């Protein structure tokens, strides 16, 4: 036992000295803290009462994209003196129950995603019956108005897919692989269908299990090995782009990898040319605008969009714009 203690002591002392001696003058936690300190000194910019807004999304646990949406919503909430609540569940029934819970709490406004519109119809109607204004974000632009929401903020997935198809044409591609990482997501189907609509070449769909990265990589790899004529791989989420790049190099394929959505890694890989282009739907704006528009409605009765969805995308991002975005993706707002 005594010997064991000595070893532990040596190990701890060693670890401490290595840490102290090996300080990095770049990056890391310290740089992040400095950036945060320089960012908004959170204080409300308005003198309206402290309203409570609840946001309920169909996100799973720990999703990069929804983190960015949240950071937009939270910053708008600070500015507008809002108590902001966030909850999520990827099961439609559970998501509907969370909306019910927000209505029970008598919040002053609700922001909801309609990825599974039928499941949320009753819950949204109940919110409106209780006199709570609802804004839909991200998915459900077709149903938003019918459900009686004030506005829909998001990207039309079909239009975004079409933009990708156009860009692929510009780059002279002939055969694209569309990688769907969530079986059962209507928005994902629309994206791939949009690509198919405008792309002059052929599009093949590949379904992968998005919750299991090694599985995603091996599936793409197998496909690229089996079909050497594929010259473009389109992934539908930022985390999958890097995986597709690995799969491509392992399979010895020459295909260009392009992706929907952004994250820090994608921005870096756009910059160094590993990725062709990304199409961004600016999630930060979806969160920020949703909170801000609810505030404007409560304060001034304003509604944006004139009954049409307010689009936050698509925005095609290539090597040229990537450099400027790197800083924003680092801090988790792009």
Partner 1 sequence: MSATGERTAEERTPDEGAVKTADERLLQTSPLRKLLSRPELGSVVGALAVFAVFAFAADGFLHTASLSTVLYASSTIGIMAVPVALLMIGGEFDLSAGVLVTSSALVSSMFSYQMTANTWVGVGVSLLVTLAIGAFNGFMLTRTKLPSFIITLGTFLMLTGMNLGFTKLIDGTVSTKTIADMEGFPSARAVFASTLTVGGVDFKVTILWWLGLVALASWILLRTRAGNWIFAVGGNQDAARAVGVPVAKTKIGLYMGVAFGAWISGQHLLFSFDAVQSGEGVGNELIYIIAAVIGGCLITGGYGSAVGSAVGALLFGLTSKGIVFAEWNPDWFKFFLGAMLLLATLLNHWVRKRAEATK
Measured from the CB atom, the residue of 30 and 129 that comes closer to partner 1 is 129
Q: Nearest distance from residue 223's CB to partner 1, in Å? A: 19
Structure-token match 């909850």, residue found: 87
Q: Nearest distance from residue 66's CB to partner 1, in Å? A: 11
Segments in the chain forming alpha helices (H):
2-21, 28-38, 64-79, 92-104, 117-129, 141-144, 157-170, 186-198, 213-226, 238-251, 264-271, 283-300, 319-330
Using rule CB under 8 A, residue 181 touches partner 1 = no
Q: Nearest distance from residue 81's CB to partner 1, in Å? A: 17
Binds partner 1 (CB under 8 A): choice among 64, 71, 151, 185:
185
Whether 113 contacts 90, CB under 8 Å:
no
Structure tokens at 193: 């269908």
Q: Nearest distance from residue 84's CB to partner 1, in Å? A: 10
Binds partner 1 (CB under 8 A): choice among 68, 73, 76, 102:
102
Whether 178 contacts 207, CB under 8 Å:
no
Measured from the CB atom, the residue of 88 and 191 that comes closer to partner 1 is 88
| Interface of this chain with partner 1, residues 72 to 91, rule: CB under 8 A | 85-88, 91
CB under 8 A: which stretch of 42-50, 98-106, 281-289, 309-317 binds partner 1?
A: 98-106
Q: In whole angstroms, what is the distance from residue 274 CA to residue 249 CA? A: 11
Q: Nearest distance from residue 328's CB to partner 1, in Å? A: 24
Binds partner 1 (CB under 8 A): choice among 78, 121, 198, 246:
121
Using rule CB under 8 A, residue 116 touches partner 1 = yes
Q: In whole angstroms, what is the distance from residue 180 CA to residue 203 CA? A: 12
Structure tokens at 80: 């507008």
**Beta carbons within 8 Å of 70's beta carbon, 6+ residues apart:** 55, 86, 287
Q: Nearest distance from residue 92's CB to partner 1, in Å? A: 6
Binds partner 1 (CB under 8 A): choice among 108, 182, 242, 258:
182
Q: What are phi and psi of 171, to 5 degrees?
A: -85, 5
Measured from the CB atom, the residue of 71 and 151 that comes closer to partner 1 is 71
Using rule CB under 8 A, residue 119 touches partner 1 = yes
Measured from the CB atom, the residue of 58 and 152 that comes closer to partner 1 is 58
Q: What are phi and psi of 181, to 5 degrees?
A: -100, 5
Measured from the CB atom, the residue of 52 and 315 that comes closer to partner 1 is 52
Measured from the CB atom, the residue of 209 and 225 that comes closer to partner 1 is 209
Using rule CB under 8 A, residue 93 touches partner 1 = yes
Using rule CB under 8 A, residue 215 touches partner 1 = no
Dihedral of alpha carbons 160, 164, 170, 174, sign: negative
Using rule CB under 8 A, residue 61 touches partner 1 = yes
Using rule CB under 8 A, residue 98 touches partner 1 = yes
Using rule CB under 8 A, residue 183 touches partner 1 = yes
How wide is the angle at C-alpha 47 spanned by C-alphas 44 and 51, nearest 5°? 80
305: burial class by Cβ within 10 Å (0-12, 13-18, 19+)? Answer: middle
What one-character DSSP code corresponds to residue 288?
H
Q: In whole angstroms, what is the distance from residue 173 CA to residue 261 CA? A: 21
Binds partner 1 (CB under 8 A): choice among 10, 13, 39, 122:
122
Judged by the rule CB under 8 A, the positions of this chain that interact with partner 1 are 61-62, 85-88, 91-94, 96-98, 100-106, 116, 118-119, 121-122, 182-186, 189
């Amino acid at each position: 036992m005594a010997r064991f203690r000595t070893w532990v002591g040596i190990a701890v002392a060693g670890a401490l000295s290595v840490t102290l001696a090996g300080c990095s003058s770049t990056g890391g936690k310290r740089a992040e803290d400095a950036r945060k300190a320089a960012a908004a000194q959170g204080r409300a910019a308005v003198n309206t009462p402290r309203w409570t807004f609840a946001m309920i999304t169909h996100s799973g646990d720990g999703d990069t994209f929804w983190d960015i949406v949240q950071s937009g919503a939270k910053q708008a909430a600070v500015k507008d003196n809002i108590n902001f609540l966030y909850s999520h569940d990827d099961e439609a029934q559970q998501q509907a129950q969370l909306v019910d819970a927000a209505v029970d709490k008598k919040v002053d406004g609700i922001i909801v995603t309609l990825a599974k519109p039928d499941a949320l119809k009753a819950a949204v109607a109940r919110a409106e019956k209780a006199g709570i204004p609802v804004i839909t974000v991200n998915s459900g632009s077709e149903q938003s108005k019918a459900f009686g929401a004030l506005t829909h903020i998001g990207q039309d997935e079909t239009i975004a897919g079409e933009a990708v198809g156009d860009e692929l044409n510009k780059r002279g591609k002939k055969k694209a692989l569309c990688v769907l990482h969530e079986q059962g997501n209507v928005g994902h189907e629309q994206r791939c269908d949009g690509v198919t609509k405008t792309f002059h070449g052929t599009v093949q769909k590949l379904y992968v299990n998005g919750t299991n990265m090694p599985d995603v990589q091996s599936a793409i790899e197998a496909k690229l090995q089996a079909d050497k004529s594929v010259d473009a791989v389109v992934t539908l989420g930022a985390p999958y782009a890097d995986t597709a790049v690995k799969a491509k190099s392992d399979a010895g394929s020459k295909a260009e990898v392009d992706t929907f959505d952004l994250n820090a890694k994608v921005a870096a890989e756009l910059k160094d040319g590993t990725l062709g282009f990304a199409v961004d739907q600016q999630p930060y704006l979806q969160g920020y605008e949703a909170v801000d528009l609810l505030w404007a409605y409560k304060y001034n009765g304003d509604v944006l969009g004139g009954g049409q969805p307010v689009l936050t995308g698509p925005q095609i991002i290539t090597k040229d714009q990537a450099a400027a975005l790197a800083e924003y993706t680092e801090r988790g707002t792009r």
